[in-house]
Amino acid sequence: MNRKVNIAVIGTGRIGSMHVANIVRSIPEANLSAICDIRLDVAQAVADEFGIERVVKDYHDLLADKEIEAYLISSSTNTHTFIMKDIAAAGKHIFCEKPLSMDLASIDDALAAVEKAGVKLQVGFNRRFDKSFQQVHQVVDSGEIGRPCVLRITSRDPELPAMEFLKVSGGMFLDMSIHDFDMARFLIGDVEEIYATGGVLVAPELNEIGDIDTNIINLKFANGTLGTIDNSRQAVYGYDQRLEVFCSNGVAMATNETVNTTVVGNPSGFHSSRIPHFFMQRYAPCYVEEIKQFIECVREDKPVPVTGRDGRMAVVLGMAAGKSLRENRPVKISEISGE
């Protein structure tokens, strides 16, 4: 089947404009029919750059278009669920950036609307599409190195985001660690219990908004595997992304990627290239691949690789970690999830 899928992008900020560029330049299976942003001037600038003819301020203006099959939501988090419901009611497929919402009731309402409409929903956890992480998943899932015993994830940003963003981000667990919660579930499965510790160790200004910049999160999985996640908002050497799964008969690891593989030796030692500075460099291919697979699922009527439940559970784990930190105790996921 060679037909193109007509898709519209709602929200043309940093992530949305990146998706626009990827669809236009790297995903020939899709046709970008329109873009939308409440900041019409921002959307128009993106449209001018990429040669997109249709630009609107209100996404409702696009929903009646019978030619558009799917919508990519990359607007602000507080708009995700009501836009999802409107798109589902129009009978169209949905790709939504994470997190789905900061409110579980809103997520459940939107997921019910999606299920009722019988449309596809894929959630934007791009790290699942990293070639190294997928290889670890395949090795562990195959059973060739035995049962998983310990998962370790290290994820550290190079520097703090702007304070204006941090004030509305939902906190470290729901903004940053949420990717690692999804990766933990991708590699091992559902989590039963979480215990999070954290503090303000590099950015004192976070005390003013009640957030943290450093954490260690212990996980107990339903299958008995134990896990740890460590996060920092400030790794001065670059964007630090590593993980390993230790199993009963071996270990599978994914180390940091570097800008190149050159190693230079001189009297002061051996020196390798730097690691990427930011997520948009490190995970650039993943953003393309996740949309490619979404388009394929729409075109060929296949199940999506990252479901609405996956999106919901990542939020549940973020909430459980926050509760654990506040109450200084392990928290059962069932306390939050309602499942």
- Taking CA atoms, 28 is separated from 4, 17, 47, 241, in Å, by 8, 17, 18, 30
Give the residues across from 255 on adjacent strands: none
DSSP class of residue 224 equals: S
CA distances from 136 to 141, 184, 292, 302 (A): 8, 12, 21, 24
Fold of 5-119: Rossmann fold (3.40.50)
The whole-number pLDDT of residue 238 equals 93
Q: Please tell me the predicted confidence (pLDDT) of residue 280.
A: 84
Per-residue confidence (pLDDT) for residue 1, from 0 to 100: 55
User: In CATH, what class is 130-282+314-337?
Assistant: alpha beta
pTM of the model: 0.95
CB 325 within 8 A of CB 211: no
| Predicted local confidence at residue 338, as pLDDT | 74
Domain boundaries defined on the chain: 5-119, 130-282+314-337
Q: Which residues of the chain fall below pLDDT 50?
A: none
Per the DSSP assignment, residues forming a β-bridge with 252 are 245
Residue pair 172/233 in contact (Cβ under 8 Å)? The answer is: yes
Inter-residue contact 190 to 181 (CB < 8 Å):
no
- H helices then E strands: how many in the chain? 13, 15
pLDDT at 261: 86
